[in-house]
Amino acid sequence: MELQRTGVGSIRGQAKMELAGKVALVTGASRGIGRACAIRFAQAGAKVGVNYRSHPDDAEEVVAACRAAGSDAIAIQGDVASREDVDAAVEKTVAAFGRLDLFVSNAAYSDRQLMLDAELAGFERTINVTMWGAFNGLRAAARQMDKQGEGGSIVIVSSPHAVIAIPTAMAYNMAKAAIDHMARTAAIELAPKRIRVNLMHPGWIDTPGERKFFSEEQLEQGAASLPWKRLGTPEEIANVIYFMASPACDYMTGSTVTVDGGVSLPWWSNRAEGKQ
């Protein structure tokens, strides 16, 4: 059964070409939030580097969707945990389109186990992809933007896990908390270069990755328990990331935007725990 969705859909045909002449690179862009970001940028006129690790057919579908939106895109295979792969992704994007103006660090990985029982290989993989992967992308993108000397915009996709100690997710919690502080530090270091760095905290979003942890029935039940009574969609997150990256937000850097349907509201948290 499909999860309830309200007021969501592509805005193709309605999008202003506010990013015409700009070039974006999105990590983890073959599915979920990354996919939606790549397409949303293309709808606004940006050319897009579509980074993926292990879903080549999905990545090519995203490229086709970007081209159908009236822009251009290329698929770039690479593991964000590898600094060499990330550097190469930036280089390939620039080789194809001449520059890099927008970067979204979206790729992440998570295993769910209690700390005492955790397989350390999965624990370390979570840290390497989610924390080091974000750093690798931030550094490589900022270096290219600095070289161009015209500023740029970077959005780091983090999570409420950065501030909520969710059990069985210690490695993911640690990684997201680290990249929040990383992004704020980068924002102040890069401000003189007119490179903006901001954070997105999505809530529970209906992505393929959620099927790693939950059945469809569990997702439906979980969605009904949320303040907004449904999961968010990748397109909703992508619309806000697009706004954060666009010229409309030129005065915003070092900020965190939360789009979670009310999950992080204190009143709801207390109610969910039976305190009210």
Judge whether 253 and 192 are in contact, CB under 8 Å: no
Distance, CA of 135 to CA of 83 (rounded, Å):
9
Paired strand residues for 105 = 156
**Ramachandran angles phi, psi of 77, nearest 5°:** -80, 140
Judge whether 170 and 118 are in contact, CB under 8 Å: yes
Distance, CA of 190 to CA of 196 (rounded, Å):
7
Judge whether 58 and 33 are in contact, CB under 8 Å: no
Catalytic residue among 109, 172, 242, 251: 172
Sheet holding 23-26, edge to edge: 73-77, 47-52, 23-26, 102-105, 152-157, 195-202, 256-259
Dihedral through CA 137, CA 139, CA 141, CA 142, nearest 10?
150
Q: Is 251 noted as a catalytic residue in this protein?
A: no
Q: Give the amino acid at 181.
A: H
**Ramachandran angles phi, psi of 140, nearest 5°:** -65, -45
What DSSP string describes 31-61? SHHHHHHHHHHHHTT-EEEEEESS-HHHHHH
**Where are the extended beta strands (E) located within the chain?**
23-26, 47-52, 73-77, 102-105, 152-157, 195-202, 256-259
Looking at the annotation, which residues are catalytic? Answer: 172
